[in-house]
Amino acid sequence: MTQGGKKKKRAVNRSIMLAKKIIIKDGGTPQGIGSPSVYHAVIVIFLEFFAWGLLTAPTLVVLHETFPKHTFLMNGLIQGVKGLLSFLSAPLIGALSDVWGRKSFLLLTVFFTCAPIPLMKISPWWYFAVISVSGVFAVTFSVVFAYVADITQEHERSMAYGLVSATFAASLVTSPAIGAYLGRVYGDSLVVVLATAIALLDICFILVAVPESLPEKMRPASWGAPISWEQADPFASLKKVGQDSVVLLICITVFLSYLPEAGQYSSFFLYLRQIMGFSSESVAAFIAVLGILSIIAQTIVLSLLMRSIGNKNTILLGLGFQILQLAWYGFGSEPWMMWAAGAVAAMSSITFPAVSALVSRTADADQQGVVQGMITGIRGLCNGLGPALYGFIFYIFHVELNELPMPESPSGGSTVTQYHLQQNSIIPGPPFLFGACSVLLALLVALFIPEHTNLTVRPSNWKKHCGSHGHPHSPQAPGEAKEPLLQDTNV
């Protein structure tokens, strides 16, 4: 190509980019406040999960009042449907945001994820029904991580992802305790109103303050570009699992260890509140302590273990702690046992970061994104299967709740309800023991994972997959081509 032709092509490209900026400024996507930054994403995540964290204690009460006979079964079904819908919709929403921009999908996901909040006091049945359906849009993290990838350089991305993840953890450490205190002093209605107000504040913040991160970097060809089925197929990454023996071992380990973890997250706080007799304040304190210990375990302890005993041994140690924790939950019948097992649970949280690090170190440069995508896809699948499985196991073992109404107070106050575990249940927490057996199998599988290897799975297919799922405007470095490791979930 001649020198004049190159200059002419550059001039045309500049004209196209200028036209895009004018369109966006004069009636397209609102610009927001300032330039796109990680702090915009951090605020969006914090407000959304802070609002849901406030509702931890009220949700447990409303869940039992709405489904008094099959509380755990219905909780499992609700969370299971939500998790499966999130797993199925996440790739499609991610692909659409690559074309239509991040801001509109941030607004969409936050709005529909928070839509059930005011329904808690209006109609509990509609509240839980909308929670289930909202799983289609409960993928805020996917859009937020794409937003961060748009606006950060390759060497900044890990720190940015860490900031978003830490903000998520901070919101869940603080909000349940605040919600429990406000509910005890002022009633649950105020907590619901406050959570609704924070959700509306988050929506307004996205509308007014969050600038679009994508349009200025979009290529002209992507305007109105069709979305291929490969991009929207939630099983696309799972189909490649069996193409390498090491990848298969890692994915089986993740599935067997995360399936009980996902089920535990969906039902454990209800279990503490209704079966173990924890008060709302105790549940909130448990969440806070467990969150703080997990942060310490995943930073300081994980770093020391990785340096001293190696990557694979760290995974095995984390799985060992998880087996102990689940067995303790399963056989424990006293509150102090739950607190002790919670400390062990914090140590078990090192497993998945260690798995992710193992994949990052052993996969080739052009295979990072897809291997991490497989693991994230398996976790998403577990988020749907785990809660439903736990609810079903509680049901078949007859772990239900009985209400013992106390005489109404002279002042005409509401009746006090006490809960106890049915005596025909031999084991207090059968799903947790099932989870311990599942993690034991994961430990046996993990023993066969080599410490150092190269993952090779049909390079041409990997590149094709990466090309269809990656963002053309934000190439990722080998160490940064990771899918977000967090899943959207209600407390």
CATH assignment of the domain containing 110: 1.20.1250.20
Residues 186 and 241 in one domain: no
- R_g (Cα) of the chain, nearest Å: 24
Grouping H, G, I as helix, E, B as strand and the rest as coil, residue 173 is helix
For every residue of 224-244, DSSP letters joined together read: TPPPPHHHH-TTTTGGGGGGS
Quick one: 321 and 353 in the same domain? yes
Tell whether the model's pLDDT for residue 419 goes beyond 50: no
Q: Identify the residue whose tokens are 């060497």.
A: 155
* CA 341/CA 332 separation, integer angstroms: 9
* Percent of all residues in the chain with a pLDDT value above 90, rounded to a whole number: 13
For residue 225, the model assigns a pLDDT of 52
Q: What is the mean pLDDT of residues 328-334?
A: 84
Domain count, the chain: 2
pLDDT > 70? residue 378: yes
Residues 95 and 194 in one domain: yes
What does the pLDDT look like over 462-484, one tens digit per residue? Answer: 444 444 344 444 444 333 334 44
Q: Give me the DSSP letters along 159-195.
A: HHHHHHHHHHHHHHHHHHHHHHHHHHHH-HHHHHHHH
- Asked if residue 352 is part of any domain, the answer here is yes
Q: Tell whether the model's pLDDT for residue 319 goes beyond 50.
A: yes
**What range does the domain containing 282 cover?**
237-400+429-450
- Average pLDDT score over residue span 437-442: 94
Confidence of residue 116 (pLDDT cuts 50, 70, 90): very high
Instruction: Tell me, yes or no, whether 270 and 192 share the same domain.
Output: no
In a domain, residue 162? The reply is yes
Calculate mean pLDDT across residues 402-414: 39
Asked, for residue 228, whether it belongs to a domain, the answer is no
Percent of the chain clearing pLDDT 70 (strictly above): 70
Does one domain contain both 167 and 268? no
Nearest CA-CA partner of 432 in 312, 317, 294, 272? 272
**28 or 64, which is more confident?**
64
Q: Which of 281, 299, 256 is CA-nearest to residue 169? A: 299
Residue 200: both structure tokens together = 């509306």
Read off the pLDDT of each residue in 232-244 and give the average, rounded to a whole number.
72
Are residues 181 and 37 located together in one domain of the fold?
yes
Both tokens assigned to 359: 């994949």
| Structural contact between residues 455 and 363, judged by C-beta atoms closer than 8 angstroms | yes
In a domain, 306, yes or no: yes
Span 383-401, average pLDDT = 78
The last residue of one of the domains, among 179, 214, 249, is 214
CA–CA distance, 403 with 302 (Å, rounded to integer): 44
Q: Say whether both 292 and 361 belong to one domain.
A: yes
Phi–psi pair at 403, nearest 5 degrees: -100, 135
Q: Domain check: are 38 and 111 in the same one? A: yes
Q: Side chain identity at 461, as an amino acid letter?
A: N
Burial class (CB in 10 A: 0-12, 13-18, 19+), 154: middle
pLDDT at 487: 47
Q: How far, in Å, CA of 290 to CA of 134, rounded?
A: 27
Identify whether 387 is part of a domain. Answer: yes
Q: Residue 67: pLDDT above 50?
A: yes
Whether residue 488 lies inside any domain: the answer is no
Whether residues 205 and 245 share a domain: the answer is no
The pLDDT, as a whole number, for residue 437 is 93
Residue 17, pLDDT > 50, answer: no
Q: Residue 23 falls within a domain, yes or no?
A: no
Coil, helix or strand for 424?
coil
pLDDT tier at 172 (50, 70, 90 boundaries)? confident
* 204 exposure class (CB count in 10 Å sphere: 0-12, 13-18, 19+): exposed
Task: Tell me the pTM.
Answer: 0.68
Query: How far is Cα 153 from Cα 270, in angstroms, rounded to an integer?
Result: 42
